[in-house]
Amino acid sequence: MRGDHLGVGIVSYGVYIPRYRIKVDEIARVWGEVEDVARSLNVYEKAVPDLDEDTATIAVEAARNAISRADLDPRRIGAIYTGSESHPYAVKPTGTIVGEAIGCSHSHTVADMEFACKAGTAAIQACLGLVRSGMIDLGLAIGADVSQGAPGDALEYTAAAGGAAYVVGSKDLIAEIEGTYSFTTDTPDFWRREGMPYPEHGGRFTGEPAYFKHVTSAAKGLMEILGRGPEDYDYAVFHQPNGKFPVRVAAKLGFKKEQIAPGLVVPLIGNTYSGSTLIGLAATLDQAKPGESIFVTSFGSGAGSDAFSIRVTERIDDIRDRAPSVRDYIAIAEYIDYARYAKHKGKLRL
């Protein structure tokens, strides 16, 4: 998939990150890990949902922040796509809960999306198409997760909770989406079978043939279409399964550390899966100036990547401070131990 000179883009955005955190060192202590896991992953703590939070509540809070940031009438929203790999129901949409909670009209379409960690960016693409075709006025694209890692599994060190919501439209843009391009193959690097509580993964196989191959292919593909290179962007955001991969893939593509620094939030909140790339983009929008450009590439296991080229407009300065920033959420942190974490995540079967 490819698209350029779209004339559509981001009207508003909002994020939500739960207040509880567990330190990666605490998880390592429980499993008797002698290696410095936090350092080797470049992830030091991760966000944990409260006992009464799930993907739907996170999606609603993020959507409310997006609506209030631009003071939008939710009845203008014609489509809600919620991407997650931890929807509360196997059958019954998360998006309907969001639509009702934010006060949408009932004249809108809803579907949930799942594509491991990139379902949120896929949701943005779906909204771009509907807005550009004139079928809807505004589209709401959400990426949110309360991701699961089996006790003691490598994923447990990073699997976190959080989400971001983007309102896509054609007027009053805070950022224009200049182009998008996707690269997709059938690569079983990470999966969760129906009815299973925790995902499985292909170990080292998740790196080169999965993350790096897809992210670089999508990123290069979009830059080629637009005739641009890394030096044409002020910022870059890559999917952040840990703190190492996005740094490495940025270097591989020729982006500098300073370009990815504002959006690299995984060391402090962990991998929020469908929220990961979108929270990284939000953290970048939180500080980008009018006229600056952002290059974004997500990754979802299974596997695929969606790349976006984004240019920030003058309007960003008008609305940026009307909703909490990513840093605002990161600043509110209440630390819990593994026992409390296990209770919050339902790892204790009663």
Helix (H, G, I), strand (E, B) or coil at 90: coil
Return the residue of 13, 81, 329, 338 that touches another protein, per CB under 8 A: 329
Q: Does the N-terminal peptide bond of residue 164 adopt cis geometry, omega within 30 degrees of 0? A: no
127 part of the active site: no
100 part of the active site: no
Residue 332 CB, nearest approach to another protein (Å): 6
Could you say which residues in the range 97-156 bind another protein, by CB under 8 A? 97, 101, 103
Return the residue of 51, 135, 196, 251 that touches another protein, per CB under 8 A: 51
Comparing CB distances to another protein, the nearer of 6 and 333 is 333
Residues with Cβ < 8 Å from 251, sequence gap 6 or more? Answer: none
Candidate segments 49-57, 196-204, 273-281, 306-314, binder of another protein by CB under 8 A: 49-57
Q: Where are the alpha helices (DSSP H) in 117-231?
A: 119-132, 213-226
- Of 47, 42, 55, the C-alpha closest to 22 is 47
Return the residue of 307, 324, 341, 345 that touches another protein, per CB under 8 A: 324
Q: Where are the alpha helices (DSSP H) in the chain?
A: 24-30, 37-41, 55-69, 95-102, 119-132, 213-226, 245-253, 257-260, 266-269, 276-285, 316-319, 326-331, 338-344
Mask for 265-304, x = binds another protein (CB under 8 A): ----------------------------------------
Rounded to whole angstroms, the Cα distance separating 105 from 244 reads: 43
**Contact assessment for residue 240 and residue 271, using Cβ atoms and an 8 Å cutoff:** yes
104 part of the active site: no
Return the residue of 1, 19, 25, 114 that touches another protein, per CB under 8 A: 19
Is position 350 an interface residue for another protein (rule: CB under 8 A)?
A: yes
Return the residue of 9, 21, 44, 54 that touches another protein, per CB under 8 A: 54
Candidate list 45, 53, 85, 176, residue with the active-site label: 85
Expressed in angstroms, the distance from the first to the final Cα of the chain is: 47
Could you give phi then psi for residue 263, rounded to 5 degrees? -95, 0
Is position 71 an interface residue for another protein (rule: CB under 8 A)?
A: no
Query: By CB neighbour count within 10 A (0-12 exposed, 13-18 middle, 19+ buried), where does 204 fall?
Result: exposed
Residue 101 CB, nearest approach to another protein (Å): 6
Catalytic residues: 85, 117, 239
Footprint of another protein on this chain (CB under 8 A)? 19, 50-54, 56-57, 60-61, 64, 88-89, 97, 101, 103, 324, 328-329, 331-332, 334, 343, 350
